[in-house]
Chain A
């Protein structure tokens, strides 16, 4: 096995190709006009779970307070639309900035700790913001939430319509663009070193890597994209409620990430799509017991060894697939 073939086997997959697949699959959604609102929500959640993957899957920090950035993004986008500018891209940028800033400030404190302490502190940050959103009625509308804000047409040409087509395409576009950037970050020297910190912290200090600073930067990046998800959510639904700071949203995002597989980026999208689609169908069939389905699926994913799942998957005949590349097999 020579150098070139080893390098080829190790080369990260192209971000453009991933984005191409996301856009192609996403555009198929246009064939289902009844489902546009659901698809738009899936797009938003996929972006949120993708940002969570930067913290959980890439940096290896288990968090249950990721919703803090989502909520900040959502409220900021809502307030910006209500008071200053109805341009969706301005709101999006403001939401992203709010998410990143929240991560930057809270990260300084919470990233000093690891494990359960970190986990509890992330929950605490989200809870504090939740109660602030509840108390600052003048700004946030308290438990009534923010509503009654209008959003201008996207780029001045595409007004948000009642069927939700523009909302869906807008969510899809933000998701695809974000995915491209996230994928590039993960495959960069910076992303590599954060993965090194995840796998072996002591080694990275011994290489001279400023571990704390690298983690903080990744945390801020995750906050930025979570803020964007919050902003899109506010813009396409036209309301921001206290539930956008809710604990259950953090927990559900984590479930989606584990469902799709943490640390792989596209897993976040797959997990969000499966969870949301199941939620939608199962809860319309039986609104009281739909969580059984989610619970069962989660048990299956967590308890069945990964290798066996992969083997089942491989056993599915795939006449369309090219024969496996020899290099990839040997490297694995």
Chain B
């Protein structure tokens, strides 16, 4: 499926945060969204996922217009996201959280009589998701007892349990200590190839090695767009954002 963003606009009162942003994300593509703080990256993800309502423009998944749908419906269309700041039920064991995501995907969350622990298929699938991310040992623990890197992995695991077509990763490496960054990185590399990924990230090494295409956002509008090589050479981006680093 192709995610297409068409002339998306958002202002909060007089503050114009997103200015006519358009781009497409093809099937299986890895697209990174970079830009200085306050460029409107997270706002853009919130607009696409449906947490915020745009003041103008549209979000399409293939030919389906999602703009008027609430977030929960968009998720069911195949649009999943992770959060920049870990957003997990703090006291619920990880295994149950994954099961909850699978219930939501299968529309089982309305079943109110049989215990959640009785559905073997859901449980086996939850274990498979955890195994894929190396989280099996953490299955019985609640996020408040997990290391930060593991919490980030749970975020990704929940998104994968939804079997999305498009996955938006809002700074997956934010706050991950150096010692744990490799596990998160490996999880990102092992995401299925058919999954389209839109990633916001500040770690430029990761962005330039991971993304096939990069969009640079500044003051709410697209400043540059291209392959990592093109972005690296882009004169405006160099002066405005990458500085001497690139």
Chain A residues with a Cβ under 8 A of chain B: 1, 3, 6-7, 9-12, 184-185, 187-193, 195-196, 198-200, 202-211, 214, 217, 330-331
Contacts and interface: CB of A to CB of B under 8 A. Distances in A.
A189 to B, nearest CB: 5
Contacts of A206: 49, 71, 75, 80-81, 83, 87, 158
B19 interface: no
Contacts of B80: 206
B114 interface: yes
A187 B104 contact: no
Contacts of A211: 72
Given A10-B140, A189-B109, A196 B117 contact: no
Contacts of A203: 83, 87-89, 158
Nearest to B158: A207
A192 B96 contact: yes
Contacts of B127: 3
A191 B139 CA distance: 20
B218 interface: no
A200 B108 contact: no
A198 B92 CA distance: 11
A191 B110 CA distance: 9
Contacts of B34: none
Contacts of A1: 137, 140
Contact of B113 (A188, A330, A331): A188
B124 to A, nearest CB: 10
A209 B115 contact: no
A3 B100 CA distance: 18
Given A188-B114, A196-B92, A207-B162, 19 more contacts: A6-B140, A187-B117, A188-B111, A188-B113, A189-B99, A189-B108, A189-B110, A192-B109, A193-B104, A195-B89, A196-B100, A199-B90, A200-B88, A206-B87, A208-B162, A209-B72, A209-B109, A210-B72, A217-B110
B153 interface: no
Interface string B86-130: 011111110111011101110011111111110100010001000
A184 B117 CA distance: 11
Contacts of B87: 200, 202-203, 206
29 contacts: A1-B140, A6-B140, A10-B117, A12-B115, A188-B111, A188-B116, A189-B99, A189-B108, A189-B109, A189-B112, A190-B112, A191-B116, A192-B96, A192-B100, A192-B103, A195-B92, A196-B89, A196-B100, A202-B83, A203-B87, A205-B51, A205-B72, A206-B80, A207-B100, A207-B162, A209-B104, A210-B72, A211-B72, A331-B140
A312 B92 CA distance: 25
B188 interface: no
A189 B137 contact: no
B103 A189 contact: yes
Q: Is the interface of A mostly helix, strand, loop or mixed?
A: helix
Contacts of A189: 99-100, 103, 108-112, 114, 116, 119
Contacts of A190: 109-112
A185 B116 CA distance: 10
Nearest to B103: A189
A195 B83 CA distance: 20
A192 B95 CA distance: 12
A190 B140 CA distance: 20
Nearest to A330: B140
Highest count of chain A CB atoms <10 Å: which of B51, B81, B89: B89
Nearest to A185: B112
A6 B88 contact: no
B136 interface: yes
Interface string B55-88: 0000000000000001111011000110100011
Of all A-B residue pairs in the complex, the 3 with the closest CB atoms, nearest first, are A208-B75, A199-B89, A190-B112
B141 interface: yes
Given A202-B87, A207-B158, A187 B140 contact: no
Highest count of chain B CB atoms <10 Å: which of A11, A204, A217: A204
B74 to A, nearest CB: 8
A199 B72 contact: no
A308 B221 CA distance: 55
Highest count of chain A CB atoms <10 Å: which of B72, B113, B119: B72
